[in-house]
Structure formats: structure tokens, C-alpha cells
Chains A and B, each alone.
Chain A
Amino acid sequence: MPRSYLDFEEPLRELDRRRDAAAIAGDEMQVEALDREIASVARAISAGLGAWQRIALARHPDRPTAIEAFRVLCTDFVELRGDRCFGDDPAVVAGLARRNGRPLAVVGHQRGRDPGDRVRRNFGMARPEGFRKARRVFDLAGRMGLPILTLVDTQGAWPGTESEERGIAESISGCLAALAGAPVPVVAALLGEGGSGGALAFAVADRLLALENGCLSVITPEGCASILDRKRTPEGVARAAESLRMGASDLLRLGVVDVVVPEPEGGAHRDPDAAVQALGREIDRAFADLSEISPAALRSLRDERLRRLGRSELAVLVEPEQVC
């Protein structure tokens, strides 16, 4: 499939074309030279990116999706489908698999790859069925003692009438409860964009990892810009993206994310397998750290981790008093 280029990636298009041509011609010296040049241009582009452009990278059409990442990370993947209530939501992929020979449960948002697949999967924006399927797999993993790996990659839960009618809020809160209470290690990774409650539904974990251009925010920059200014100009959206401090490095500073995994030069989409392999090494490290901890202690540590978030911001203004 041809590569896609964002506007700020345009300098790479011609270099990529020449590099591919050289590779076909078998000109290895030329390929090496161009690879070096591409890496240096990609590095220069990355260095100058603003928050909004990084979010564009998190949404990049060529960025690895959850299914592709599970294929790289795991073997023996068996997909589990359906919520046993209403239907199966292709915006969420869930199943059982093995990583380094050990069984685990995997759940992620699935944005889709080609245009048809993206429409079928609703661009990874899940309906209640998707969250209820995930919850079913979280519960199953808990009962069977299987560690849980989740990948977050969604602009948010689907804001349609059918979502509301079928209880999208309840289904999201159910995922939060299932992960909070899971008596097994839970490792989550921000693969791409993490938009609001629909993303958080898979991001309650013992360790939250993030690819360098991954993000997690309380609201999309577009939504934030609409609230601040109904006109929602491109400048407003870019400013909102900065203000929200939603990128991986900001989240690391805030304590929301535990580890940021560097992406290949230019972003994960430039070399998806390498990006996912790098993530895999941190996933292994996280599971190794958690493997010796008892279920009860895991839960306590997970609760404590949540309690820590934002604690340094808290203060007590005055002594208690009666209000009424």
C-alpha cells in the first residue's frame, strides 16, 4: 500500500520515492545514503513538531493498529467476539494469545487499516457492545489468572444515539470497574490517540506505557476548541492541543504514564514493526515486574497508583466547618 504523508512530512515523500527506486534497482550504496538522509530529515521534522502535529502522527493512517501490534507481539492469537447481549463491535478487538509462550488476554481499540476496514470498524470509536465485549474478556482473564494487555487507540467512544440508548456510559464504567478489580497484572499502552472516557476504559492498569506520539486526554483538541470558541478554527484546535498537555511526555511528567517508548525516526508509521517491538520490550519489563506480586497486593498497588495521580495538586484550605 502506498505511504500516506501529512503536510509536514512532505519533504520525505521524494526521498522515500528515490530510496524505493534505488532499492528496486539494487543500488545498495544509494539506498544506504538515502536512508541516512531520510533519518536526518525525519529527525529534523520530529524535533520541530508541536502538540497538534504529534496528535496528527498518533492518528496517522500508516500507524500500526492494535491488531497489527498484537500480531507482532503475540502468537496463537484467538479472537473472541460479541458481548452476549446485543452484538459484536469491530471497533474493539479482544482475544487470547501468547507472548513469549505465556498466555494472556489482549484487548484494544481497532481503527482499521484500509478505508473500507476503517468504516466497518467505525474508526475505532466503540459502541457499548465493544466495551461490554472487553469487559467480558477482562472478567474471563481475571478468573483464569491470565495477565491483561490492552492497547489504546481511539478518538473516543462513538457519540451516536444508539450508543446512548444502549448505555455507553454504563458500559465504559463497567470496563473501569473490571480493570480496577482484576486480580491479575494489567499493562496498558497508548498506541495512538487516547480520547476521553472511551480510551480510559482500557487504560486502568498497573503500568501505563505510551509510544512517544501516543496521547491521552480528557477531551479531543477539537472538542476543547469547540467549547472555548464555537467557531473552532485550526489555530484554536492547535492551541487546545498545546493547552491540554496530552502528549506522552507531558503525561509522564504528570505521573499518568509510567514509561514513554521512543518511536523510530519520523514516527511509528515509518517503521511499524520496530515501533511495536520496542513497545514489546517495555511490556515484557512491566509484566516481569508484576509477575511475583500476589493478586491482593496487585489490587492495592493499582488503587494506590490511581490515588497518587494528582495528589501533589491537592491542598486543604481551611479547617472543617458545618455547611448546613
Chain B
Amino acid sequence: MKSSEGARREAGEPSPPETPPGPTTTPRGGDEALFVTCPSCRGPSYRKDVERRLLVCGTCGHHFRLTVEERLRITVDRGTWQETWPGLVGGDPLHWTEAPDGPAYPERVAAARAQTGHREAVVTGTAEIESVPVALGVMDFHFMGGTMGTAVGEKLARLVDLARETRRPLVVFTASGGARMQEGTLSLVQMAKVVAALVRLREACVPYVCVLTDPTTGGVCASLAMRGDVQVAEPGALIGFAGPRVIEQTIQQTLPPGFQRAETLLLQGMVDMVVHRGDLRTSLGRLLRALSKAPDAAR
């Protein structure tokens, strides 16, 4: 496992969902920094302490955004993770350049790869969570804002198929600004592609648990992220279709506190539970055992 502090700090492309005061980003400070500043309460914390708390602020409970490695480390049973299709990548169907002076899309992807050590914005594979075998996808917000282009859509659709074929429950951690603008309409249709695979999964009676993490917005929210049989959200996660800034422009008003946050979505009936990161693995284990009719853990 490699450290990716640098990657974490450089998150947010191409359309990081705008966040109200106290942006939910990862601890500031370089790899060697002893202290990190919580973006929510602005309080300094001893880095080791925050890491010991699974990257949750000890003062205010703010959940920092995780790298894929951190997520896997705190979620899956040690030694059970096997990645699938790590080399699958997309192209540049629109020959995209951002403005006359902007970088070409392939350069942006290359930079994201260098930053994260992954080749695309989702990592897929098989693993066990509390001894239950699952098909697992983890979206990576640090890779171009976790946006879904052709490769992300393909990996997710294949993962859904894998879950169906092997009858493993599907677990996806979502973190995304939506469809990837740079691949245009081909990105948009990935929403339909993944949902079509999920329809088959549902018909095969294989369960799907979606864990919505900060942020889950746009086309990813309006496709796979809202189709879980069980919807779990991390505290404080921004979850919604339109970005807060777009909504504010539409209604010409400031949004109320807590708007599009996990706790609000719980009240609105859009998620089943908001689970503290420290309890997430246990909760997932309990859910997955029930859904796969596995015996209860004796432990």
C-alpha cells in the first residue's frame, strides 16, 4: 500500500461539487506534516490520531475523503482483495481540449494516473467483508473528480455482471462529480449501461449495497448510486443530482444548511442509514450476511 497524501490534496476535477463553508476535503499538510487541519472545524489534529480514527476528525467528526487504498484497508478482510481489470482505460473520442490554452484530455488523464497510481476513476475487484465474499467497486474522487467515462462505465458494468455470475453481493462505494464531460455523450450513456446491468442483477436476486460517500452527485448519483437495495451513506456526504452552485443560481437563494447532506437525505427517505466510518465495516457485514442468508457471525 502506498501513501497518496499528494493525490488527496489535489482532488476535484473537472467539476468538484461546490461545498458550503467547511469544504469536505482531506487533511491539509504534506506527507511529513505532523498536524493536519480539519476542513470542517478548522481545528488542528495530530495526523497519526486522525489516521487512527479512520480519517475522521476527533473534534467534529468530519469524515475526510479517502483514497482507494485507505478505503480498501478499512473495509475488506486482509488479504482478500483481488483487483479486476486494472488496466482497462478509455480513449479520447472527442479529441477534447479545454479552451485554446488548456491541456488536452489525455494529458489530464495522465496527470490523474500519476497522482493516484490508478488508471481510472473506479477500482473494481473481489474481496471479503467480514468473511462475506463480495464484488466490490470503489470510486476514486481524486481521479478527475471520480467522473464516469467509458472505462469507468465499462468496469462498473463488468463488476455488476461479475456479481451476478458469481452470485456475490455487489458493494459499490460511490464518490463522483458525475459523468465525465471530456468524453461527451459517450459518458452520459454509461449511466444507462450500468443501470441496465443492475436491472439484470436485481432480476437474478443478487443484492446490491451502495455506500454513498462524499461527494456523490450528477450522473453517477442519477444512475448506480440510487439503485441500491440498501443505501448507506457516510456522515456529511454531499449527495444530489444538481450541484449546489447550479441550484443556487436557479433559485437565486442561498441553500439551507444541511441541504443535500447524508443526514438530510435520511430524513427525506433517500438512504436507509448514515453510518459512522468506524461502524461501517460491522454494519456492512451484518447487512451482507442477512442479504446472503449467511449465518450470523459468532464473534
> What residues make up the interface of A, taking CB atoms closer than 8 Å to B?
157-161, 163-170, 172-174, 176-177, 179-181, 196-197, 200, 203-204, 216-219, 223-224, 227-229, 236, 239, 243-246, 251, 254, 256, 302-303, 306-307, 309-324
Asked if residues B219 and A197 are in contact (CB atoms below 8 Å), the reply is: yes
CB distance from A282 to the nearest CB of B (A): 20
Complex contacts, B83 vs chain A, CB 8 Å: 320-324
Residues from 241 to 277 in B contacting A, C-beta threshold 8 Å: 241-242, 246-247, 250-251, 255, 259-260, 268-270
Stretch at the interface among B27-35, B42-50, B66-74, B162-170: B66-74
Given A227-B15, A254-B93, A320-B83, is A218 in contact with B260 using a C-beta cutoff of 8 Å?
no
Asked if residues A227 and B270 are in contact (CB atoms below 8 Å), the reply is: no
Interface centre among A176, A229, A254 (most CB of B within 10 A): A176
Asked if residues B191 and A176 are in contact (CB atoms below 8 Å), the reply is: yes
Complex contacts, B255 vs chain A, CB 8 Å: 161
Asked if residues A246 and B184 are in contact (CB atoms below 8 Å), the reply is: yes
Complex contacts, B241 vs chain A, CB 8 Å: 157, 159, 163-164, 168-169, 172, 197
Given A180-B196, A309-B193, is A316 in contact with B88 using a C-beta cutoff of 8 Å?
yes
A-B contact count (CB 8 A): 225
Bound complex: CA A245 to CA B196 (Å): 25
Q: Which residue of B lies closest to A316 (CB)?
A: B87
Asked if residues B199 and A173 are in contact (CB atoms below 8 Å), the reply is: no
Asked if residues A313 and B189 are in contact (CB atoms below 8 Å), the reply is: no
Bound complex: CA A176 to CA B225 (Å): 13
Bound complex: CA A230 to CA B82 (Å): 42
Asked if residues A314 and B195 are in contact (CB atoms below 8 Å), the reply is: no
Asked if residues B94 and A167 are in contact (CB atoms below 8 Å), the reply is: no
Asked if residues B98 and A315 are in contact (CB atoms below 8 Å), the reply is: no
Bound complex: CA A323 to CA B183 (Å): 26
Complex contacts, A321 vs chain B, CB 8 Å: 83, 86
Q: Which residue of A lies closest to B83 (CB)?
A: A323
Q: Which residue of B lies closest to A242 (CB)?
A: B94
**Contact pick for B69, options A229, A239, A324, CB 8 Å:** A324
Interface centre among B73, B193, B203 (most CB of A within 10 A): B193
Q: Which residue of A lies closest to B245 (CB)?
A: A226
**Contact pick for A169, options B197, B221, B259, CB 8 Å:** B221
Asked if residues A159 and B246 are in contact (CB atoms below 8 Å), the reply is: yes
Given A322-B81, A324-B69, is A172 in contact with B222 using a C-beta cutoff of 8 Å?
yes
Bound complex: CA A311 to CA B270 (Å): 33
Asked if residues B99 and A218 are in contact (CB atoms below 8 Å), the reply is: no
Q: Which residue of B lies closest to A321 (CB)?
A: B86
Q: Judge whether B237 is part of the interface by a CB distance below 8 angstroms.
A: no
Bound complex: CA A216 to CA B219 (Å): 14
Q: Judge whether B154 is part of the interface by a CB distance below 8 angstroms.
A: yes
- List the 7 closest A-B pairs by CB distance, nearest first: A310-B150, A313-B91, A159-B242, A180-B196, A317-B87, A170-B226, A172-B222
Bound complex: CA A320 to CA B88 (Å): 9
